Amino acid sequence: MSGPDARAAYDAVATAYDAAFADELDAKPLDRALLTSFAELASSGTICDIGCGPGHVTCFLAGRHADVVGIDLSPAMVEIARQRAPDLSFTVGSILDLPVADDAWAGAVSLYSIIHLTPSDRTTACREFARVIRPGGWLLLAFHVDSPEFAVGAVNHLTSWLGQRVELDGYFLDPDDVSAQLEAAGFTVKARLEREPIDGVEYPSRRCYLLAER
């Protein structure tokens, strides 16, 4: 699932999600360092925040890079992102069918967005990343690996989140599997970081960050 259900879920929680997460990078120095490094690596050309949500990560990148855009499945999220950063371009679109030409971008980040894709849709997404990122360009992915409640490979089906009724699947992903999907799509994984959750700041999952070159 990542189509009508994910869109409806994120439309429903968009305002609450923004309130909960817009300032999250303040408490995440490692994430800031990764995003700063990414902006330097993909310095020449457009970079896209895919699954940008309310645009707070897009704005962080825009402070470090001259040409940043955002795409998200949820129109409500895109509307909040546009209000946050009227000077940036935000588009409604899906990871599974990105609305840009081949080799359009110098890089893309996609933080906690592939977590909503089925395994076969993740394969499609990796092919789309490879299609739209030019040779020599960069991709930074983040996803949940496991948590006290969920083992790697588990699916968390939410029916209620941030005070709203939703139908939303969240997958806990094996870094080896995602790395293999990226490599099969034409990327070379250049760096892999797994970290523990930050106590009291975020959902208590272990997280993985993959930096890949096209």
Helix, coil or strand: residue 140: strand
Q: Stretches 36-44, 88-96, 149-157, 200-208: which one binds ligand SAM (CB under 6 A)?
A: 88-96
Q: Stretches 39-47, 89-97, 132-140, 143-151: which one binds ligand SAM (CB under 6 A)?
A: 89-97
Which residues are paired to 89 by β-bridges? 69
* Chosen residue from 25, 41, 96, 154 binding ligand SAM by CB under 6 A: 96
Residue 13: how many other CB atoms lie within 10 Å? 23
Is 73 near ligand SAM (CB under 6 A)?
Answer: yes
Is 129 near ligand SAM (CB under 6 A)?
Answer: no
20 vs 184, beta carbon nearer ligand SAM? 20
Q: Are 207 and 141 in contact (CB under 8 A)?
A: no
Which residues are paired to 49 by β-bridges? 70, 109
* Chosen residue from 12, 47, 53, 145 binding ligand SAM by CB under 6 A: 53
Q: How far is the CB of 203 from ligand SAM (least distance, A)?
A: 10
Q: How far is the CB of 204 from ligand SAM (least distance, A)?
A: 15
Contacts of 81 (CB under 8 A, 6+ apart): 52, 53, 54, 55, 58, 70, 72, 88, 90
Is 113 near ligand SAM (CB under 6 A)?
Answer: yes
Longest dimension (CA), the chain: 43
136 vs 147, beta carbon nearer ligand SAM? 147
Is 94 near ligand SAM (CB under 6 A)?
Answer: yes
DSSP 72-135: ES-HHHHHHHHHH-TTSEEEE-BTTB-SS-TT-EEEEEEES-GGGS-HHHHHHHHHHHHHHEEE
Is 72 near ligand SAM (CB under 6 A)?
Answer: yes
* Chosen residue from 12, 39, 47, 57 binding ligand SAM by CB under 6 A: 57
Site residues for ligand SAM per CB under 6 A: 2, 6, 10, 21, 51-53, 57, 72-74, 77, 94-96, 111-113, 116
